Amino acid sequence: MPPTYFLTTPKQIPEVDVMGQLSFTQQLVDQILSTVKNDDHRLQEEVRASVEKLSSNVPRTNWRVVSFLEIVWPIIMTMIFTITYPFVKSFPDCNGNQPPSPLIHIAVISIGPIVWNAGILVAQFLVSLFLGPTVAGHDGGVLQDMMGEKTKVH
């Protein structure tokens, strides 16, 4: 049987008093600061700083951690899946037929989006090459401008 909190309706969920919680936190900070002696301003500032700590105060991540998580770990995962996928697909089907090479499937899945993006970029380049001068108001082509041939319309 699932826990009862999954069966609650929105009417049964109590409302959260956010402003009350914030005022309670402020009262707690004021109480801590009032217990500290008035002479010890350094401790008061430390308490205030710990309460008001922002994300800019968080230290930066070590470059070794970033390089491992962004470079090494994806390569390890790629190697694991490239080894396991052909193993899973190496068994014949129920009719005894051997399936096609799983490495071809991996190549299509991994190289397909790159080829698709390259084709879209070539199409956008050609559109901007031929439509750009028309929109910009030039009378000559972009290639003529690049070669230094000046055309003037009188």
What per-residue confidence (pLDDT) applies to 134?
72
Put simply, whether the predicted model's pTM sits higher than 0.85 gets the answer no
37 contacts 30 by C-beta, under 8 angstroms: no
Report the amino acid identity of residue 25. T
pLDDT averaged over 10-residue windows placed end to end, the chain, 154 residues: 51 58 70 64 68 65 91 95 91 88 90 96 92 67 62 53
Cα–Cα distance for residue pair 153/151, rounded to 1 Å: 7
Cα–Cα distance for residue pair 102/87, rounded to 1 Å: 9
The two most distant CA atoms of the chain are separated, in Å, by: 87
Cα–Cα distance for residue pair 104/86, rounded to 1 Å: 10
Concatenate the DSSP letters of all residues of 68-92 into one string: IIIIIHHHHHHHHHHHHHHHHTTS-
What per-residue confidence (pLDDT) applies to 27?
73
**Residue 138 DSSP symbol:** -
What per-residue confidence (pLDDT) applies to 69?
93
Query: 10 Å Cβ neighbour count for 20?
Result: 9
